[in-house]
Copies of this chain bind each other. A is one copy, B any other.
Amino acid sequence: MLEKLKVDVLEANLELVRRGLVLYTFGNASGIDREQGLVVIKPSGVPYEQMKPEHMVVTDLQGTQVEGSLRPSSDLHTHLLLYREFPSIGGVVHTHSEYATAWAQAGRSIPAYGTTHADYFYGPVPVTEELTAEEINGDYVLNTGHAILRRFEGLDPLAIPAVLVAGHAPFTWGRTAADAAYHAVVLESVAKMAFVTATLNAEGAGVSQCLLDRHYFRKHGAKATYGQSSEPHK
């Protein structure tokens, strides 16, 4: 059941390892089968080098485990809320990648300082508000998702496929698990460059709306001209 998706989700998880985004068992990637309404996610705390497709955990959109004997990632309910509220996405990734996490810890959105950013994120990568004590003591993982949703009111999640959870770390997403992982990798590079940029020029104003439009729509939407086909950003 969902064999292809399990392979894709495992592969998205391993991409995070290959790109140096995760330490030990940190991080998790998931994907959804929209037709069946089922989510495939990494199990919690299993070393990446031992992970196989059959270790992936399958749940429905409310978190009821449908397949798999291992516990799902402890961040499952953040993923599920994003799938329920962002119907256009097909994959979610969470990492503690170092530079993106540092921006989240600093409580700062990542400004659109240049075209690398603009190629993938149509505006600053926003940081959420801090969760209240009530939210933390309550259903914390779910409330992390709610903090993300509040921050994305009025924003298109596919146009800005990343968020920084204040004091925590980034989440990214995309049309597929592979896309979500791809965005996590690009985000980390963008976050590192933004750190160096902000240190070199604290007042740096970032790109103009005009340049942001030009780069973003070169890779996205009906008029995209990058790559060999109309597939997004590949």
Given contacts A96-B116, A234-B25, contact A228 B197 (CB under 8 A): no
Given contacts A45-B234, A74-B226, A101-B116, contact A106 B197 (CB under 8 A): yes
Chain A stretch 172-220: residues in CB contact (< 8 A) with chain B: 182, 185-186, 189, 192-201, 204, 206-208, 210-211, 214, 218
Of A23, A192, A225, most B-chain CB atoms within 10 Å: A23
Given contacts A71-B228, A101-B114, A168-B114, contact A214 B140 (CB under 8 A): yes
Contact status A211-B167, CB under 8 Å:
yes
Contact status A115-B168, CB under 8 Å:
yes
A74, B224: Cα distance in complex, Å: 11
Contact status A208-B102, CB under 8 Å:
no
Given contacts A74-B218, A207-B167, contact A201 B46 (CB under 8 A): no
A204, B102: Cα distance in complex, Å: 11
Contact status A200-B106, CB under 8 Å:
yes
Contact status A114-B104, CB under 8 Å:
yes
Contact status A210-B25, CB under 8 Å:
no
A169 sits at the interface (CB 8 A)? yes
A72, B32: Cα distance in complex, Å: 34
Of A24, A26, A99, A193, most B-chain CB atoms within 10 Å: A193
Instruction: List 17 contacting pairs A-B, 8 Å CB cutoff, sorted by A.
Output: A24-B185, A26-B116, A44-B226, A45-B226, A45-B234, A74-B218, A74-B226, A101-B114, A102-B193, A103-B200, A105-B197, A130-B208, A133-B208, A167-B207, A167-B208, A195-B196, A195-B199
